[in-house]
Amino acid sequence: MNLDLVVQKLSPLKPGTLKFLAGAAEFDPERMTAPVYPAIYVLPSAEVGVPNDTQGGAQQILVQFALAIAVQGAKDSTGAAIQDALKPIRQAACAALFGWKPDRGMSRVTYTRGQVMVFKPGGLLWWLDEYSTSYYIAM
């Protein structure tokens, strides 16, 4: 799947909801920093073929991609401030992607799951949301 399509789909979120948006080539997992916050990096996640036991036909390929979302929030004892910073970004990204067909022959995008990547001192949270779509290849 061409993840540039996902970056293009999310680009209207800049500069309002989002201050930085990039693809996997600009993501540095060692440093886990972004030039400005909030930021989203679009990353490949997985591709899995669904077994087809019939003779001939086509095989479905499930494609997952992820949004690494970085937000900076005020430190508080409950973490509510960082959740308040994360929520509108996740909602806007989901609204942009959910039900969208990235390319001809692909199924609509659905939300798969979300999880914390890392929480750094100073109120920097990296969150990972995964989405999926699929397509078929001839056998």
User: Which residue segments constitute the domains of the chain, with CATH numbers given?
Assistant: 4-138 (3.30.2000.10)
pLDDT in tens, 29-64: 888 777 888 999 999 999 999 888 776 778 899 999
pLDDT in tens, 64-87: 999 999 998 767 767 778 888 899
Range 114-117 contact pairs with CB under 8 angstroms and sequence separation of 24 or more: 114/90, 117/32, 117/68
